[in-house]
Amino acid sequence: MKTFNGQFYPSYFSPPIEATLLLSDKTLSIGYHDQAGIPGRQDWSMKEVQGDFLFAEQRSRFIQTKTQAEFRVAGRGAFEYWEEIKTEAEKSWFQKKRTGNLRRTVALLSAMIIAGTLLYFFMVPWLAEQMATVVSKKTERQLGDNVFEAMQNTQLEDTMATRVLNEFFTALAIETDYSIRITVVKDPLVNAFALPGGQLVVYTGLLESMETYPELAALLSHEFVHVEKRHATRSIFRAMGSGLFITLLFGKSSGLATLVIDQANQLRTLSYSRSLEKEADLEGYRLLQERGIDPAGYEQLFKHLKDSSPGTAIPEMISSHPDTDSRIQYIREAARGQVVKEDSRLGSIFAQLKK
Amino acid sequence: MQDYLGVINAQSIIGANMFKDIFAGLRDLIGGRSKTYERVIEEAKEDAMRELTQKAQSLGANAVVGIDLDFETVGASGSMLMVIATGTAVRI
Protein backbone atom coordinates (compact mmCIF):
# COMPACT_ATOMS: atom_id res chain seq x y z
CA MET A 1 0.00 0.00 0.00
CA LYS A 2 1.45 3.33 -1.11
CA THR A 3 0.16 6.87 -1.57
CA PHE A 4 1.09 9.42 -4.26
CA ASN A 5 0.22 12.99 -5.18
CA GLY A 6 -0.63 13.74 -8.79
CA GLN A 7 -3.14 15.07 -11.30
CA PHE A 8 -6.65 13.72 -11.69
CA TYR A 9 -8.53 14.09 -15.00
CA PRO A 10 -12.22 13.25 -14.22
CA SER A 11 -12.91 12.91 -17.95
CA TYR A 12 -10.89 12.99 -21.14
CA PHE A 13 -11.39 16.70 -21.80
CA SER A 14 -11.49 18.08 -18.27
CA PRO A 15 -8.58 20.05 -16.87
CA PRO A 16 -6.38 18.34 -14.28
CA ILE A 17 -7.08 18.59 -10.54
CA GLU A 18 -4.43 18.17 -7.89
CA ALA A 19 -5.34 14.94 -6.07
CA THR A 20 -4.08 12.08 -3.94
CA LEU A 21 -3.79 8.46 -5.00
CA LEU A 22 -3.83 5.34 -2.83
CA LEU A 23 -2.52 2.19 -4.47
CA SER A 24 -3.27 -1.09 -2.73
CA ASP A 25 -3.80 -4.68 -3.78
CA LYS A 26 -7.56 -4.29 -3.53
CA THR A 27 -8.45 -0.85 -4.83
CA LEU A 28 -7.11 2.33 -6.25
CA SER A 29 -8.57 5.34 -4.42
CA ILE A 30 -8.43 8.94 -5.56
CA GLY A 31 -9.12 11.88 -3.27
CA TYR A 32 -9.75 15.28 -4.85
CA HIS A 33 -11.58 18.60 -4.62
CA ASP A 34 -14.04 19.36 -7.43
CA GLN A 35 -14.49 22.81 -9.07
CA ALA A 36 -16.74 23.94 -6.23
CA GLY A 37 -14.04 22.94 -3.75
CA ILE A 38 -16.06 20.08 -2.27
CA PRO A 39 -13.89 17.06 -1.39
CA GLY A 40 -14.68 13.74 -3.04
CA ARG A 41 -13.29 10.27 -3.54
CA GLN A 42 -13.35 7.68 -6.29
CA ASP A 43 -12.50 4.02 -5.84
CA TRP A 44 -11.39 2.05 -8.86
CA SER A 45 -11.15 -1.70 -8.68
CA MET A 46 -7.96 -3.32 -9.94
CA LYS A 47 -9.75 -4.96 -12.87
CA GLU A 48 -11.02 -1.76 -14.46
CA VAL A 49 -7.71 0.06 -14.37
CA GLN A 50 -5.01 0.15 -17.01
CA GLY A 51 -1.63 1.52 -16.16
CA ASP A 52 1.29 2.65 -18.27
CA PHE A 53 4.31 4.91 -18.21
CA LEU A 54 4.36 7.98 -20.42
CA PHE A 55 7.95 8.28 -21.45
CA ALA A 56 7.66 11.75 -22.99
CA GLU A 57 6.08 13.25 -19.87
CA GLN A 58 8.02 10.98 -17.50
CA ARG A 59 4.75 10.31 -15.72
CA SER A 60 2.92 7.14 -14.61
CA ARG A 61 -0.64 7.01 -15.91
CA PHE A 62 -3.67 5.05 -14.70
CA ILE A 63 -6.85 4.94 -16.79
CA GLN A 64 -10.30 3.91 -15.61
CA THR A 65 -11.44 1.88 -18.64
CA LYS A 66 -15.16 2.65 -18.22
CA THR A 67 -15.15 6.42 -17.64
CA GLN A 68 -11.84 7.16 -19.34
CA ALA A 69 -10.83 9.13 -16.24
CA GLU A 70 -7.10 9.38 -15.75
CA PHE A 71 -4.64 9.86 -12.98
CA ARG A 72 -1.06 10.90 -13.62
CA VAL A 73 1.82 10.78 -11.20
CA ALA A 74 5.28 12.22 -11.86
CA GLY A 75 8.00 9.59 -12.11
CA ARG A 76 8.15 5.90 -12.75
CA GLY A 77 7.65 4.76 -9.14
CA ALA A 78 3.85 4.59 -9.08
CA PHE A 79 3.69 2.54 -12.28
CA GLU A 80 6.32 0.11 -11.09
CA TYR A 81 4.59 -0.36 -7.76
CA TRP A 82 1.27 -0.89 -9.53
CA GLU A 83 2.80 -3.55 -11.79
CA GLU A 84 4.18 -5.28 -8.74
CA ILE A 85 0.91 -5.52 -6.80
CA LYS A 86 -0.98 -6.39 -9.96
CA THR A 87 1.18 -9.40 -10.79
CA GLU A 88 0.98 -10.50 -7.16
CA ALA A 89 -2.82 -10.19 -7.17
CA GLU A 90 -3.14 -12.11 -10.42
CA LYS A 91 -1.23 -15.11 -9.15
CA SER A 92 -3.28 -18.05 -7.98
CA TRP A 93 -3.29 -18.69 -4.26
CA PHE A 94 -0.62 -21.38 -4.29
CA GLN A 95 1.87 -19.23 -6.21
CA LYS A 96 1.65 -16.28 -3.85
CA LYS A 97 4.67 -15.04 -2.02
CA ARG A 98 5.05 -16.72 1.33
CA THR A 99 7.49 -16.44 4.13
CA GLY A 100 8.32 -20.14 4.09
CA ASN A 101 8.65 -22.98 1.70
CA LEU A 102 5.21 -24.35 0.88
CA ARG A 103 6.37 -27.90 0.33
CA ARG A 104 8.18 -27.95 3.64
CA THR A 105 5.15 -26.53 5.42
CA VAL A 106 2.85 -29.16 3.95
CA ALA A 107 5.28 -31.95 4.85
CA LEU A 108 5.63 -30.63 8.37
CA LEU A 109 1.89 -30.26 8.66
CA SER A 110 1.13 -33.81 7.59
CA ALA A 111 3.87 -35.16 9.83
CA MET A 112 2.35 -33.29 12.74
CA ILE A 113 -1.15 -34.50 11.98
CA ILE A 114 0.05 -38.10 11.73
CA ALA A 115 2.08 -37.82 14.90
CA GLY A 116 -0.85 -36.18 16.68
CA THR A 117 -3.25 -38.88 15.55
CA LEU A 118 -0.89 -41.64 16.63
CA LEU A 119 -0.35 -39.96 19.96
CA TYR A 120 -4.04 -39.40 20.49
CA PHE A 121 -5.30 -42.80 19.42
CA PHE A 122 -2.52 -45.06 20.65
CA MET A 123 0.05 -43.41 22.85
CA VAL A 124 -2.25 -41.47 25.17
CA PRO A 125 -4.68 -44.36 25.81
CA TRP A 126 -1.75 -46.73 26.30
CA LEU A 127 -0.11 -44.40 28.81
CA ALA A 128 -3.41 -43.91 30.59
CA GLU A 129 -3.90 -47.67 30.84
CA GLN A 130 -0.39 -48.03 32.22
CA MET A 131 -1.11 -45.40 34.81
CA ALA A 132 -4.41 -47.05 35.71
CA THR A 133 -2.62 -50.30 36.43
CA VAL A 134 -0.18 -48.66 38.83
CA VAL A 135 -2.92 -47.04 40.85
CA SER A 136 -3.13 -48.89 44.15
CA LYS A 137 -6.23 -50.75 45.17
CA LYS A 138 -6.52 -48.45 48.13
CA THR A 139 -6.72 -45.39 45.88
CA GLU A 140 -9.29 -47.12 43.72
CA ARG A 141 -11.29 -47.95 46.77
CA GLN A 142 -11.20 -44.35 47.99
CA LEU A 143 -12.28 -43.16 44.59
CA GLY A 144 -15.22 -45.58 44.52
CA ASP A 145 -16.19 -44.83 48.11
CA ASN A 146 -16.29 -41.10 47.41
CA VAL A 147 -18.71 -41.63 44.56
CA PHE A 148 -20.72 -44.07 46.64
CA GLU A 149 -21.01 -41.72 49.59
CA ALA A 150 -22.12 -38.91 47.32
CA MET A 151 -24.88 -41.16 46.02
CA GLN A 152 -25.93 -42.57 49.36
CA ASN A 153 -27.57 -39.34 50.47
CA THR A 154 -30.09 -39.51 47.69
CA GLN A 155 -30.85 -43.21 47.66
CA LEU A 156 -32.56 -45.67 49.91
CA GLU A 157 -30.87 -48.99 50.69
CA ASP A 158 -32.71 -52.31 50.78
CA THR A 159 -30.81 -53.89 53.69
CA MET A 160 -32.38 -57.32 53.43
CA ALA A 161 -31.58 -57.71 49.74
CA THR A 162 -28.12 -56.29 50.36
CA ARG A 163 -27.41 -59.01 52.92
CA VAL A 164 -28.72 -61.75 50.63
CA LEU A 165 -26.69 -60.55 47.65
CA ASN A 166 -23.48 -60.37 49.66
CA GLU A 167 -24.13 -63.89 50.92
CA PHE A 168 -24.81 -65.03 47.35
CA PHE A 169 -21.57 -63.51 46.10
CA THR A 170 -19.58 -65.18 48.90
CA ALA A 171 -21.19 -68.50 47.97
CA LEU A 172 -19.97 -68.04 44.40
CA ALA A 173 -16.45 -68.25 45.88
CA ILE A 174 -14.71 -65.99 43.38
CA GLU A 175 -11.11 -65.32 44.27
CA THR A 176 -10.11 -61.66 44.29
CA ASP A 177 -7.88 -59.11 46.00
CA TYR A 178 -10.72 -56.64 46.06
CA SER A 179 -13.24 -56.63 48.86
CA ILE A 180 -16.51 -56.73 47.01
CA ARG A 181 -19.36 -54.89 48.73
CA ILE A 182 -22.76 -55.11 47.16
CA THR A 183 -25.47 -52.59 47.90
CA VAL A 184 -29.07 -52.90 46.78
CA VAL A 185 -30.86 -49.63 46.19
CA LYS A 186 -34.65 -49.28 46.23
CA ASP A 187 -35.36 -47.97 42.77
CA PRO A 188 -37.56 -49.33 39.98
CA LEU A 189 -34.72 -48.78 37.48
CA VAL A 190 -33.55 -51.95 35.75
CA ASN A 191 -29.86 -51.27 36.22
CA ALA A 192 -26.69 -52.14 38.08
CA PHE A 193 -23.15 -50.80 38.03
CA ALA A 194 -19.69 -51.22 39.48
CA LEU A 195 -17.60 -48.50 41.09
CA PRO A 196 -13.81 -48.66 41.19
CA GLY A 197 -12.46 -50.57 44.17
CA GLY A 198 -15.23 -53.10 44.69
CA GLN A 199 -18.53 -51.33 45.30
CA LEU A 200 -21.33 -52.93 43.31
CA VAL A 201 -24.71 -51.22 43.18
CA VAL A 202 -27.84 -53.11 42.10
CA TYR A 203 -31.30 -51.59 41.72
CA THR A 204 -34.32 -53.46 43.03
CA GLY A 205 -36.01 -53.02 39.66
CA LEU A 206 -33.51 -55.42 38.15
CA LEU A 207 -33.71 -57.90 41.04
CA GLU A 208 -37.49 -58.04 40.81
CA SER A 209 -37.36 -59.02 37.18
CA MET A 210 -35.09 -61.99 37.92
CA GLU A 211 -36.59 -65.45 38.16
CA THR A 212 -33.69 -67.88 38.59
CA TYR A 213 -30.37 -67.81 40.42
CA PRO A 214 -28.16 -68.07 37.29
CA GLU A 215 -29.43 -64.62 36.32
CA LEU A 216 -28.18 -63.13 39.56
CA ALA A 217 -24.92 -65.04 39.21
CA ALA A 218 -24.58 -63.65 35.70
CA LEU A 219 -25.19 -60.08 36.86
CA LEU A 220 -22.77 -60.30 39.77
CA SER A 221 -20.05 -61.98 37.73
CA HIS A 222 -20.41 -59.32 35.03
CA GLU A 223 -20.11 -56.46 37.52
CA PHE A 224 -17.32 -58.26 39.34
CA VAL A 225 -15.25 -58.39 36.14
CA HIS A 226 -15.69 -54.61 35.81
CA VAL A 227 -14.05 -54.26 39.22
CA GLU A 228 -11.40 -56.95 38.81
CA LYS A 229 -10.29 -55.65 35.40
CA ARG A 230 -10.34 -52.06 36.68
CA HIS A 231 -12.69 -50.96 33.91
CA ALA A 232 -13.96 -47.87 35.69
CA THR A 233 -10.49 -46.77 36.71
CA ARG A 234 -9.17 -47.33 33.21
CA SER A 235 -12.03 -45.36 31.67
CA ILE A 236 -11.42 -42.48 34.06
CA PHE A 237 -7.71 -42.40 33.25
CA ARG A 238 -8.33 -42.59 29.52
CA ALA A 239 -10.80 -39.73 29.70
CA MET A 240 -8.35 -37.67 31.74
CA GLY A 241 -5.48 -38.49 29.38
CA SER A 242 -7.26 -37.49 26.21
CA GLY A 243 -8.70 -34.43 27.94
CA LEU A 244 -5.23 -33.31 28.95
CA PHE A 245 -3.86 -33.96 25.46
CA ILE A 246 -6.61 -31.92 23.81
CA THR A 247 -6.13 -29.06 26.24
CA LEU A 248 -2.39 -29.03 25.59
CA LEU A 249 -2.91 -29.01 21.85
CA PHE A 250 -5.81 -26.65 21.43
CA GLY A 251 -5.59 -24.62 24.58
CA LYS A 252 -8.75 -22.76 25.38
CA SER A 253 -8.92 -21.51 21.83
CA SER A 254 -11.73 -21.94 19.33
CA GLY A 255 -14.87 -23.44 20.75
CA LEU A 256 -15.75 -25.01 17.44
CA ALA A 257 -12.62 -27.16 17.27
CA THR A 258 -13.19 -28.47 20.78
CA LEU A 259 -16.81 -29.17 19.94
CA VAL A 260 -15.86 -31.32 16.95
CA ILE A 261 -13.19 -33.11 18.94
CA ASP A 262 -15.51 -33.70 21.90
CA GLN A 263 -17.96 -35.44 19.62
CA ALA A 264 -15.27 -37.65 18.09
CA ASN A 265 -13.97 -38.39 21.56
CA GLN A 266 -17.46 -39.32 22.72
CA LEU A 267 -17.79 -41.92 19.98
CA ARG A 268 -14.36 -43.30 20.77
CA THR A 269 -15.16 -43.57 24.47
CA LEU A 270 -18.39 -45.38 23.64
CA SER A 271 -16.60 -47.88 21.47
CA TYR A 272 -14.11 -48.45 24.28
CA SER A 273 -16.98 -48.85 26.71
CA ARG A 274 -18.59 -51.43 24.42
CA SER A 275 -15.39 -53.44 24.30
CA LEU A 276 -15.21 -53.35 28.11
CA GLU A 277 -18.81 -54.54 28.39
CA LYS A 278 -18.06 -57.40 26.06
CA GLU A 279 -15.01 -58.33 28.11
CA ALA A 280 -17.12 -58.26 31.28
CA ASP A 281 -19.75 -60.45 29.63
CA LEU A 282 -17.28 -63.03 28.40
CA GLU A 283 -15.05 -63.09 31.47
CA GLY A 284 -18.12 -63.18 33.70
CA TYR A 285 -19.48 -66.02 31.65
CA ARG A 286 -16.20 -67.89 32.12
CA LEU A 287 -16.64 -67.58 35.89
CA LEU A 288 -20.10 -69.14 35.59
CA GLN A 289 -18.74 -71.88 33.37
CA GLU A 290 -16.10 -72.83 35.96
CA ARG A 291 -18.88 -73.21 38.51
CA GLY A 292 -21.20 -75.12 36.23
CA ILE A 293 -23.85 -72.40 36.39
CA ASP A 294 -26.31 -72.19 33.51
CA PRO A 295 -25.14 -69.56 30.96
CA ALA A 296 -28.80 -68.99 30.10
CA GLY A 297 -28.64 -66.65 33.10
CA TYR A 298 -26.88 -64.16 30.83
CA GLU A 299 -29.48 -64.49 28.12
CA GLN A 300 -32.29 -63.92 30.62
CA LEU A 301 -30.46 -60.95 32.08
CA PHE A 302 -30.04 -59.33 28.67
CA LYS A 303 -33.70 -59.93 27.92
CA HIS A 304 -34.73 -58.14 31.12
CA LEU A 305 -32.55 -55.22 30.13
CA LYS A 306 -34.11 -55.13 26.69
CA ASP A 307 -37.68 -55.40 28.01
CA SER A 308 -37.07 -52.59 30.46
CA SER A 309 -36.36 -50.15 27.63
CA PRO A 310 -38.87 -50.99 24.91
CA GLY A 311 -38.76 -48.86 21.80
CA THR A 312 -35.46 -47.24 22.69
CA ALA A 313 -33.31 -49.33 20.42
CA ILE A 314 -30.44 -46.99 19.69
CA PRO A 315 -27.82 -47.87 17.08
CA GLU A 316 -24.90 -49.76 18.56
CA MET A 317 -22.43 -47.15 17.35
CA ILE A 318 -23.76 -44.48 19.70
CA SER A 319 -24.44 -46.77 22.64
CA SER A 320 -22.23 -47.48 25.64
CA HIS A 321 -23.24 -51.15 25.63
CA PRO A 322 -23.23 -53.64 22.77
CA ASP A 323 -26.57 -54.37 21.16
CA THR A 324 -28.58 -56.83 23.30
CA ASP A 325 -29.04 -59.27 20.43
CA SER A 326 -25.33 -59.40 19.72
CA ARG A 327 -24.64 -59.90 23.43
CA ILE A 328 -27.01 -62.89 23.47
CA GLN A 329 -25.31 -64.12 20.30
CA TYR A 330 -21.75 -64.14 21.57
CA ILE A 331 -22.72 -65.64 24.92
CA ARG A 332 -24.58 -68.41 23.08
CA GLU A 333 -21.54 -69.08 20.94
CA ALA A 334 -19.29 -69.25 23.98
CA ALA A 335 -21.74 -71.45 25.84
CA ARG A 336 -21.97 -74.14 23.19
CA GLY A 337 -21.54 -77.60 24.72
CA GLN A 338 -21.54 -76.27 28.27
CA VAL A 339 -22.30 -78.77 31.04
CA VAL A 340 -24.75 -77.37 33.59
CA LYS A 341 -25.14 -78.62 37.12
CA GLU A 342 -27.68 -77.45 39.63
CA ASP A 343 -26.27 -75.64 42.70
CA SER A 344 -28.82 -76.01 45.48
CA ARG A 345 -26.98 -73.67 47.85
CA LEU A 346 -27.06 -70.73 45.46
CA GLY A 347 -30.63 -71.63 44.66
CA SER A 348 -31.68 -71.48 48.30
CA ILE A 349 -29.96 -68.13 48.86
CA PHE A 350 -31.69 -66.73 45.80
CA ALA A 351 -35.00 -68.04 47.12
CA GLN A 352 -34.60 -65.82 50.21
CA LEU A 353 -34.60 -62.82 47.94
CA LYS A 354 -37.86 -63.80 46.33
CA LYS A 355 -39.68 -64.24 49.65
CA MET B 1 -0.15 22.81 7.53
CA GLN B 2 -3.02 24.43 5.61
CA ASP B 3 -6.03 22.69 7.15
CA TYR B 4 -6.88 20.37 9.98
CA LEU B 5 -9.74 18.16 8.77
CA GLY B 6 -10.38 16.35 12.02
CA VAL B 7 -9.58 13.13 13.78
CA ILE B 8 -10.47 10.02 11.82
CA ASN B 9 -10.31 6.35 12.63
CA ALA B 10 -10.76 3.03 10.94
CA GLN B 11 -10.94 -0.47 12.32
CA SER B 12 -10.65 -3.97 11.06
CA ILE B 13 -11.60 -7.09 12.96
CA ILE B 14 -10.23 -10.35 11.65
CA GLY B 15 -10.72 -13.89 12.86
CA ALA B 16 -7.87 -16.29 12.35
CA ASN B 17 -9.47 -19.53 11.23
CA MET B 18 -9.70 -22.72 13.25
CA PHE B 19 -6.64 -24.27 11.62
CA LYS B 20 -4.54 -21.20 12.20
CA ASP B 21 -5.60 -21.39 15.83
CA ILE B 22 -4.39 -24.97 15.98
CA PHE B 23 -1.01 -24.06 14.51
CA ALA B 24 -0.66 -21.13 16.83
CA GLY B 25 -1.54 -23.47 19.69
CA LEU B 26 1.22 -25.84 18.62
CA ARG B 27 3.61 -22.95 18.32
CA ASP B 28 2.67 -21.97 21.85
CA LEU B 29 3.55 -25.50 22.93
CA ILE B 30 6.93 -25.78 21.22
CA GLY B 31 7.89 -22.11 21.36
CA GLY B 32 9.05 -19.66 18.70
CA ARG B 33 7.47 -17.05 16.47
CA SER B 34 3.99 -17.70 15.21
CA LYS B 35 4.07 -16.63 11.59
CA THR B 36 0.44 -17.61 11.10
CA TYR B 37 -0.77 -15.10 13.67
CA GLU B 38 1.75 -12.50 12.51
CA ARG B 39 0.28 -12.66 9.03
CA VAL B 40 -3.21 -12.20 10.41
CA ILE B 41 -2.09 -9.10 12.31
CA GLU B 42 -0.38 -7.76 9.21
CA GLU B 43 -3.52 -8.26 7.17
CA ALA B 44 -5.72 -6.53 9.75
CA LYS B 45 -3.28 -3.63 9.98
CA GLU B 46 -3.18 -3.22 6.18
CA ASP B 47 -6.98 -3.15 6.05
CA ALA B 48 -7.27 -0.58 8.82
CA MET B 49 -4.61 1.66 7.28
CA ARG B 50 -6.18 1.48 3.84
CA GLU B 51 -9.55 2.44 5.25
CA LEU B 52 -8.00 5.29 7.21
CA THR B 53 -6.32 6.63 4.09
CA GLN B 54 -9.54 6.39 2.11
CA LYS B 55 -11.43 8.29 4.80
CA ALA B 56 -8.77 10.98 4.74
CA GLN B 57 -9.06 11.17 0.95
CA SER B 58 -12.82 11.59 1.19
CA LEU B 59 -12.25 14.59 3.44
CA GLY B 60 -9.92 16.07 0.86
CA ALA B 61 -6.84 15.56 2.96
CA ASN B 62 -3.49 14.86 1.43
CA ALA B 63 -1.89 13.52 4.57
CA VAL B 64 -2.70 11.88 7.90
CA VAL B 65 -0.56 12.79 10.87
CA GLY B 66 -0.18 11.44 14.36
CA ILE B 67 -1.37 7.95 13.50
CA ASP B 68 -1.91 5.61 16.41
CA LEU B 69 -2.40 1.86 15.93
CA ASP B 70 -4.24 -0.10 18.59
CA PHE B 71 -4.26 -3.90 18.68
CA GLU B 72 -6.86 -5.79 20.68
CA THR B 73 -8.33 -9.26 20.81
CA VAL B 74 -12.10 -9.59 20.73
CA GLY B 75 -14.57 -12.48 20.63
CA ALA B 76 -15.61 -15.02 23.24
CA SER B 77 -12.21 -16.68 23.59
CA GLY B 78 -10.13 -13.79 22.30
CA SER B 79 -9.69 -15.55 19.01
CA MET B 80 -10.40 -12.50 16.84
CA LEU B 81 -8.05 -9.66 16.32
CA MET B 82 -9.02 -5.99 16.12
CA VAL B 83 -6.83 -3.22 14.80
CA ILE B 84 -7.91 0.40 15.23
CA ALA B 85 -6.04 3.09 13.34
CA THR B 86 -6.57 6.67 14.51
CA GLY B 87 -5.05 9.79 13.02
CA THR B 88 -5.63 13.44 12.09
CA ALA B 89 -6.46 14.19 8.49
CA VAL B 90 -4.68 17.34 7.26
CA ARG B 91 -3.85 19.30 4.15
CA ILE B 92 -0.24 20.32 3.82
DSSP H helical segments within A53-179, as ranges?
77-90, 102-118, 124-134, 137-152, 159-172
pLDDT of A176 reads: 87
Contact A201, A195 (CB under 8 A): yes
Is B30 at the interface with chain A, CB within 8 A?
no
pLDDT of A251 reads: 63
**Residues of chain B contacting residue A29, judged by C-beta atoms under 8 Å apart:** 53-54, 57
**Which sign does the torsion angle of CA A42, A43, A49, A55 carry?**
positive
* Radius of gyration of chain A from its Cα atoms, rounded to whole angstroms: 38
For residues A134 and B33, give the distance between their C-alpha atoms in angstroms, rounded to a whole number: 39
**Which sign does the torsion angle of CA A75, A80, A86, A89 carry?**
negative
Q: Under an 8 Å CB criterion, which residues of A touch B?
A: 1, 3, 5, 20, 22, 24, 26-27, 29-33, 39-41, 43, 99-100, 112, 248-257
Contact A62, A82 (CB under 8 A): yes
Chain B interface, best mutation among A21, A106, A254, by max B CB count within 10 A: A254
pLDDT of A327 reads: 87
Cα angle for residues A267, A269, A270 (degrees, 5° grid): 65
Q: Can you give the pTM of this predicted structure?
A: 0.59
pLDDT of B45 reads: 95
Amino acid at site A248: L
**Residues of chain A contacting residue B59, judged by C-beta atoms under 8 Å apart:** 31, 39
CB contact under 8 Å between A249 and B50, yes or no, is: no
**B4 Cβ partners below 8 Å, 6+ apart?**
B88, B89, B90
pLDDT of A86 reads: 87
Report the 3 state secondary structure along A146-184.
HHHHHHHCCCCECHHHHHHHHHHHHHHCCCCCCCCEEEE
pLDDT means per 10 residues, chain A with 355 residues, are 92 89 91 89 91 92 92 93 87 65 80 87 86 86 87 84 91 88 88 87 88 89 90 86 77 64 76 87 89 87 79 70 84 82 85 81
**A315 Cβ partners below 8 Å, 6+ apart?**
none
Mean pLDDT (chain B, rounded): 89
Chain B residue whose CA is closest to A29: B54
Regions of chain B with pLDDT less than 50: none
**Residues of chain A contacting residue B58, judged by C-beta atoms under 8 Å apart:** 31, 39-41
pLDDT of A58 reads: 93
**Residues of chain A contacting residue B53, judged by C-beta atoms under 8 Å apart:** 1, 3, 22, 29
CB contact under 8 Å between A255 and B49, yes or no, is: no
For residues B47 and A193, give the distance between their C-alpha atoms in angstroms, rounded to a whole number: 60
**A235 Cβ partners below 8 Å, 6+ apart?**
A269, A272, A273, A276
ipTM confidence: 0.83
Contact B44, B13 (CB under 8 A): yes
Domains by residue range for chain A, with CATH: 2-131 (2.30.29.30), 136-353 (no CATH)
